[in-house]
Every structure is written in structure tokens, then in C-alpha cells.
Amino acid sequence: MKIKKKNTKNETISIIIIAFSLLYIFAFIFTNKMGIVGKIIFQTATRNIGLGAYIFPILLLFLGIVILFNYKPPNLYRKLFGISFLFIIFLIFIHSRLLLLDNSYSLAMKGAGGGLLGYYFANSLYLYFGTKGAYLVLISLSLISALFITEVSYFYIFSNLGNKTKMILNNIYNVLKNIGTKISKISRRKEVPDYQEYETDEIPKKLFKIKKTRKKEKKLEEEATFDRDYQISKQEPKIDSYQVPPLSLLSDSYAEEKADTKLNIEENVKTLERTFTNFGINAKVVGVIQGPTVTRYEIHPAPGVKISKITNLSNDIALSFAVASVRIEAPIPGKNA
């Protein structure tokens, strides 16, 4: 019985609100055909809230429909408070320009700007805070009202916006990089000219005369003979003060290269885990297999992390490692990594 009484009460209230809002709308559309009641509604609304009188019946109609269908969104009264406060801020804002005129009060009485409500609020606000301070207060109150209505954190909005902007810039950078690479490859290609064969009857002229030099070579060989005898000593020269260099001069290059490789792998592991953290993926590197040309990193994602999130980051991981591309393989059967 209590539920039926409550439903009947809600339906009665909703019907009254919807009927009043429709009467309100008809009074604005058909001013001369709604009688005395329509004229009173039109004059009272425009005098008190000015241009806001065209928005107010829509808000009333929406409220009546919400009550009729017994729809109760979370924090309903908080949202209604935010909408009402935002409506008053709207009246103050549209009436702020009229305060510079001498007849701003008479204009408010005629329904211009924000009406009497907008006039009194705007006049008080500009009197205590001045022009710039009033605008700052209005912007702050608007943000607070929007927070009451949407219940969405501004920090969440800006953080998501920053992540999306970063991803878009990374994609643009990768596209421009690929375009630059393709352009450089095309510019390096040399165009091979096409050669055509031509037949001609002309005999090419000799560019120079060929002289025979065989006799002169024989004369030079005869003149180059020597009759002197030379003796070549077979004894090895003696070196008294020679010392064999020590083996300590040889550096252990393999150990240094091994230490540098280990340091590079540790830096790559930190870079890979930092990239996952930046994109909100909980994953750790559990193993590294170094090959002659390719180094494989085994990744262990946290429970609940989809593999598709990791595979979609191939371009971002390649950008972090400053390489052209990386290959992400599917999970290995029988391994928890």
C-alpha cells in the first residue's frame, strides 16, 4: 500500500510539473491565445529571469518526465543543485554586458538580459569583485556546477587527454619517420639512361700514331748490364739490448665487451618496463636471451592483463629502444611468460 501511495504521489507531482511546463511553453508561443493566465506567466517569467525564461520550461519538462518514470539517477539532488546553480550563472553572465548601461534596471524589467534575478546577482558580484574578479568567480562556479552534474574528475579528464595526445604525437612521428625513410630511399636510386645502338658506315679516325719501340728496348737492355760482383753477407745482425715485451700489454677486450653488453641489457630491461608503466600495463621482464643479432626478452604480464594490449605497443616499444621495429611473439606453450 505504501508503494502504491508513493507511486501515485510521484505521478501526480510529475503530471502537474509537465502540465505547467507545457502551459509555460504555449504561453510563449501563443501569447495572445492563452488568456490572462498565459499573459501573467509570460510577463512574470520574462521580468524575473529574462532570456532564461526560454530555457526554464525545458528544464521543468525534463524534471517532470524523470519523476513520472520513477527514474532516480545516483545523487539526483546533487545534480539538480548543479543544474540550478549553472542556470543562475547563465543569467548573471548574459546580464553582465547590460550593467554598463544607465538603464540596465529598466531593461531588466522589460525582460532583457537575465531579468531582475540576473540584474541583482550581477550587480552585487561586480560591486564586490570588479569586472575581472567577477569573471573569475563565474568561471570557477561554472566548473564546480559542472562537477556536480557530471561527477567526473577534471584530473581524470586531463590525464586521459594527455595520454591520448602523447599517443597521437607518437603515431604522427612514426608516420613522418616512415615517409622520410621512403623518400630518402627513392632519392638514392639512380636513373639508368637508356642506350640505343646506331649503325654507321664511317670508319673512326686514328687519334694518334703508334710507333714501334722494340729496337730501343733492346738497346736499353744492353746498356743496363753491369759487370761488378757483390757479396751478400749471410750473418744475422746481433742486437744486444732487446727485451721481449710483457703479456700485460694485451688488454682483455672480451671482458670489457661482455660488461658493456650486460649494462646495455639492464638499461633495455628498465626502458621496457618503464614503457609498460607509462601505458598502464603491469608487466615485468623475467628473462633475457642474447643472440648474435637478436636479443629476446621474456615478459610476464600481471593477471588480468590482455596480451593484445602488449602487442599493440610494438611501435611505442620500438620508439623507446630507438630501433626501426620490434617483433612481439605470442605466449610460449608450457611457459608462464
pLDDT digits (tens, 9 = 90+) for 4-53: 556 677 788 888 888 888 888 888 887 777 778 878 888 888 888 888 88
Question: Residue 236: what pLDDT?
Answer: 62
The model's pLDDT over 296-320, given as tens digits with 9 standing for 90+, comes to 888 888 888 888 888 888 888 888 7
What is the average pLDDT across 122-147?
87
CATH 3.40.50.10800 fits 153-179+261-337, yes or no: no
Say which residue, 108 or 70, is predicted with more confidence: 108
Average confidence (pLDDT) over 221-226: 52
Torsion of CA 84, 86, 88, 92, to 10 degrees: 180
Between CA 122 and CA 114 the distance in angstroms is: 9
Least confident piece of the model among 88-97, 269-278, 324-333: 324-333
Examine the pLDDT at 135 and tell me if it is beyond 80.
Answer: yes
Place of cell 528544464: 59
Q: Would you kindly state where each structural domain of the chain is located, as residue ranges?
A: 2-152, 153-179+261-337
Give the mean model confidence (pLDDT) for residues 57-68: 84
* Phi-psi category of residue 59: left, alpha or beta, with phi > 0 → left and psi -120 to 50 → alpha: alpha
Give residue-wise pLDDT tens across range 43-57. 888 888 888 888 888
The 8-class DSSP code of residue 34 comes to S
Query: At residue 294, what is the residue type?
Result: V
pLDDT, residue 314, reads 81
In the predicted structure, residue 188 carries a pLDDT above the cut 70: no
Gap between the Cα atoms of 83 and 77, Å rounded: 10
- 248 pLDDT more than 80: no
What percentage of residues in the chain have a pLDDT greater than 90?
0
Residue 207 has pLDDT above 70, yes or no: no
pTM: 0.42
Given this model, what pLDDT does residue 208 score? 46
Best CA proximity match to 83, nearest among 134, 17, 147, 153 = 147
